[in-house]
């Protein structure tokens, strides 16, 4: 698969006022770092990057940046958005060496309807993405799992995942990805309006905690990769 090219403009000056001027011109500021290289500041058209990220590999699209003092192959590391308008404010790119393995987070996609669900069970999803290590060009867009044969009481753990050749999962414990469980009386009871709001708030808090944990893991992964490249 050909690596998509993103044309960017190198920029010498930084700061809030400069960033505001760029946004008035329909551009957004960005920076590329990693690999022991000097960080490079740039500006880009968000629509051009969005077209790439809407491709099959999404945020795991490997991208070539052109228009800088040197061409760099990168992944999108973070996109900062306006808290209300949700427009893009800034993009962080992570430089990668095509010949060295990298750790990335990829989504897990469950396919099929479990036999246990047909019999009244409930499919519980514990993880929607996992961390993998592979060469940059081999990072998969997703990990597909066929769950159609799962019966009530069955589960799938991370070490059982069907991974492409050259890709390995990164984990400390063999955690559960999904499971089919028997419905409980609690699940069958109607939820009162107040309880529903409380559950929703708890769910949002859980998602925020998971997002924080994910960011911390990504920082640790980036640090490990940086240390590995320095040794190389």
Say whether both 154 and 174 belong to one domain.
yes
Residue 104 contacts residue 135 (beta carbons within 8 Å): no
Say whether both 163 and 184 belong to one domain.
yes
Say whether both 176 and 147 belong to one domain.
yes
Surface-to-core class of residue 92, CB atoms within 10 Å of its CB (0-12 exposed, 13-18 middle, 19+ buried): middle
Looking at residue 12, its pLDDT comes to 80
CA dist list (Å): 182 to 85, 156, 186: 42, 16, 11
Sign of the C-alpha dihedral, residues 9, 15, 21, 26? positive
The torsion region of residue 185 among left (phi > 0), alpha (psi -120 to 50) and beta comes to alpha
Domain hosting 107: range is 102-203
pLDDT tens track for 39-56:
999 999 999 999 999 998
160 within a domain of the structure (yes/no): yes
228 within a domain of the structure (yes/no): no
DSSP H helices in 25-180: 46-53, 115-118
Say whether both 69 and 10 belong to one domain.
yes
Number of domains in the chain: 2
Say whether both 80 and 106 belong to one domain.
no
217 within a domain of the structure (yes/no): no
227 within a domain of the structure (yes/no): no
Q: How far apart are CA 94 and CA 221, in angstroms?
A: 12
Say whether both 53 and 134 belong to one domain.
no
Q: How far apart are CA 73 and CA 5, in angstroms?
A: 9
Tell me the whole-structure pTM to 2 decimals. Answer: 0.72
Local confidence band at 158 (pLDDT 50, 70, 90 cut-offs) = very high
Q: How far apart are CA 145 and CA 163, in angstroms?
A: 10
In which element (H, E) is residue 123 found?
strand 122-125
Say whether both 90 and 26 belong to one domain.
yes
Looking at residue 59, which CATH number applies to its domain? 2.40.240.10
177 within a domain of the structure (yes/no): yes
Residue 93 contacts residue 32 (beta carbons within 8 Å): yes
57 within a domain of the structure (yes/no): yes
Looking at residue 222, its pLDDT comes to 54
Looking at residue 109, which CATH number applies to its domain? 2.170.120.20
Please give the share of the chain, as a percent, with pLDDT higher than 70.
79
Looking at residue 106, its pLDDT comes to 94
212 within a domain of the structure (yes/no): no
Q: From 95, 120, 141, give the residue that closes a domain.
A: 95
């Amino acid at each position: 698969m050909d690596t998509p090219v993103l044309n960017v403009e190198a920029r010498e000056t930084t700061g809030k006022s400069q960033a505001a001027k760029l946004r008035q011109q329909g551009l957004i500021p960005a920076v590329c770092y990693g690999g022991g290289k000097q960080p490079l500041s740039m500006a880009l058209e968000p629509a051009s990057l969005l077209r790439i990220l809407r491709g099959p590999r999404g945020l795991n699209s490997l991208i070539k940046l052109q228009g800088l003092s040197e061409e760099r192959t990168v992944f999108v590391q973070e996109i900062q958005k306006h808290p209300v308008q949700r427009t893009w404010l800034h993009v962080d790119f992570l430089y990668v060496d095509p010949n060295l393995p990298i750790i990335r987070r990829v989504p897990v996609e469950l396919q099929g309807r479990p036999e246990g669900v047909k019999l009244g069970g409930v499919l519980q999803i514990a993880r929607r993405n996992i961390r993998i290590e592979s060469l940059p060009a081999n990072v998969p867009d997703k990990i597909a799992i066929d769950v159609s044969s799962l019966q009530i009481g069955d589960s799938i753990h991370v070490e059982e995942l069907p991974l492409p050749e050259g890709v390995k999962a990164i984990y400390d414990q063999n955690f559960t990805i999904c499971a089919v469980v028997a419905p409980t009386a609690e699940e069958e009871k109607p939820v009162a309006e107040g309880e529903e709001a409380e559950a929703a708030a708890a769910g949002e808090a859980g998602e925020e905690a998971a997002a924080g944990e994910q960011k911390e893991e990504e920082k640790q992964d980036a640090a490990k990769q940086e240390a590995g490249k320095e040794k190389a």
